[in-house]
Copies of this chain bind each other. A is one copy, B any other.
Amino acid sequence: MFKVNDNYQKLPGSYLFSTVGRKTNAFMAAHPEKKIIRLSIGDVTQPIAPAIIEAMHRAVDEMGKAETFHGYAPELGYEFLRSAIAKQDYRARGCQIEEDEIFVSDGAKSDSANIQELFAAENRIAVCDPVYPVYVDSNVMAGRTGVYDPSTERWSNVIYMPCVMENGFVPQLPEETPDLIYLCLPNNPTGTTIKKHQLQEWVDYANRTGAVIIYDAAYEAYISQEDVAHSIYECDGAKTCAIELKSFSKNAGFTGLRLGYAVVPKELKCGEVSLNAMWARRHGTKFNGAPYIVQRAGEAVYSEEGRAQLKKQVAYYMENAAVIREGLKAAGYTVFGGVDAPYIWMKTPGNMTSWEFFDELLEHANVVGTPGSGFGPSGEGYFRLTAFGSHENTRAALERIKSM
């Protein structure tokens, strides 16, 4: 008689966005005359840039002719895309990353969930709190997290690194030594980041203790400050301790196109065992490549036209971020993030809980945001707004909040 993987049953329900949706729908049903503005989920709203649309049309046409049809893709991704990535995302920044250290995937969510497979079941993970839930949940499914305590909302075998106002949202080196450290910088959900010299401390710590950093750089395109690293490989020694995950979802609006990549350096080893070779084996066994059309779309992201168009797209969202940040400040709120990331993280006023503020905002401003407590216990008392709306909606939302 077959048995199921019991680890799945340990997962607590995933209620954050479903509760946001349920409460929003209930409000809309009760107040059909109100126009709701959603600044809640992290999905983009601007259309795919023209240079990328053109590249996809060309690729679709190629797929329709026998002489230019493309079947199974090369296992690591097409060379045209991997070489553009290696050149522009890395070598142009002085990071010596080679094409065969880059693995094209169907997105950073898949990669960030799958990467833990390379590690032993007894390895211990460290995560920031609040955090993107996939890091922890994928390790729960693999049996790596121990027992869940609903009263603390924490797993017994996970090392938590609180990121709160008091420490400037900068994770501190943990007292217990982890084997795997998940860092998302610039951060989702807090919208904050750390300086390059602070990231260097993490790299040094990982090399000193023999830990691997899983570095999620999905929001790299939003960095505006000069002394913030765009890649962890800008830090000395990162190639012996870090895997970097990148997404095309936020810099190019590919949430519905699905493209990402992982960098697994050849220097990253456990004894003689190469993690690059292991990830190549996983890629070859459990994945069959991103679609040709989408890889050509990815290539267009790096074209001169594509870059110019996407620079404007990022600027569009960052204008929203400034509107939200400055608007909230003017209204007397304490606000973080939104400088190097498309997320604004605010302190809820007057010791309200995250969900109390959610209700308040929905009722009085008809604006939907995301309760910080949904990302972890240290998110309690905070609230996330995203810059991915339209200018019109974002401005209107802030006017309403200001007049609350």
Contacts and interface: CB of A to CB of B under 8 A. Distances in A.
A45 interface: yes
A53 B58 CA distance: 11
A270 interface: yes
Contacts of A4: 118-120, 270, 273, 275, 278
Contact of A291 (B8, B44, B275, B294): B294
A257 interface: yes
A47 B60 contact: no
Given A5-B120, A11-B281, A48 B64 contact: yes
A292 B56 CA distance: 13
Interface in A174-214: 179-180, 209-212
A390 B69 CA distance: 13
A2 B60 CA distance: 44
Contacts of A107: 288
A107 to B, nearest CB: 5
A347 interface: no
A225 B35 CA distance: 58
Given A48-B63, A63-B53, A286-B114, A71 B8 contact: no
Contact of A211 (B2, B8, B63): B2
Copies of this chain per assembly: 2
A152 interface: no
Contacts of A209: 1
A73 interface: yes
Given A53-B64, A273-B9, A257 B291 contact: yes
A6 interface: yes
A45 B64 contact: no
Given A14-B284, A45-B69, A290 B258 contact: yes
A311 interface: no
The residue among A46, A109, A256, A278 with the most chain B CB atoms within 10 A of its own CB is A256
A123 B4 CA distance: 9
Contacts of A293: 56, 257, 291, 293-294
A180 to B, nearest CB: 6
A331 interface: no
Contact of A270 (B3, B106, B212, B253): B3
